[in-house]
Amino acid sequence: MSERVKFFPGREIRSRSIDEVLASEYAADLKYSWASGAAMSRFLIELKNGRIIARKCNKCKRILLPPRIFCEDCFRETDGWFYVKDTGTVNTYSISYVAADASRLKEPLFVAVINIEGATEGMGFLHLLGEVSEKELKVGMRVGAVWKPEAERIGSILDIRYFKPI
């Protein structure tokens, strides 16, 4: 560095020496009950019925999924409900070997953004892929929803177990 910058401050604690300093520990378990809102409530109820529902905007003509009560582009209220198919194409995918806390998973998860048929091109959501081998995974592959049996559905994104190739 030039003469004006001679020293960069900071004292590192290496992982093996964390117990040598006076660190204090705290834990919190924050509980929430999130309102689903008007659009998502209906979406979840329809999942329970085994169907996927979107909202349409009559101004830009888009079929919006996930459904919302406003069009973020036209910035107006959306105009109505629209059932879309439970099939789609894989927009992109990845293979997760780690859990949310960065620990290793026993079995990797296949994760994908799926463009849903019937919605406007590029409208999709995140879900899991199943009944497929790592080698078969492809961007652009056609997939369909594998639903839980009706009795097990509760109105959750997990009412769809995963999507599988069709």
Q: Is 23 in the site for other proteins (CB under 8 A)?
A: yes
Nearest-approach distance from CB 77 to other proteins, in angstroms: 6
Nearest-approach distance from CB 115 to other proteins, in angstroms: 9
Q: Choose which of 82, 111, 117, 146 interacts with other proteins (CB under 8 A).
A: 111
Inter-CA distances, 71 with 14, 38, 59, 78, Å: 50, 14, 9, 6
d(CA 66, CA 9): 48
Phi, psi (rounded to 5 degrees) for 47? -60, -40
d(CA 87, CA 69): 23
Q: Choose which of 61, 102, 107, 133 interacts with other proteins (CB under 8 A).
A: 102
- Assign residue 50 a region: left if phi > 0, alpha if psi is -120 to 50, beta otherwise? left
Nearest-approach distance from CB 129 to other proteins, in angstroms: 11
In the complex with other proteins, the residue whose CB is nearer, 93 or 145, is 93
Q: Choose which of 52, 57, 66, 143 interacts with other proteins (CB under 8 A).
A: 66
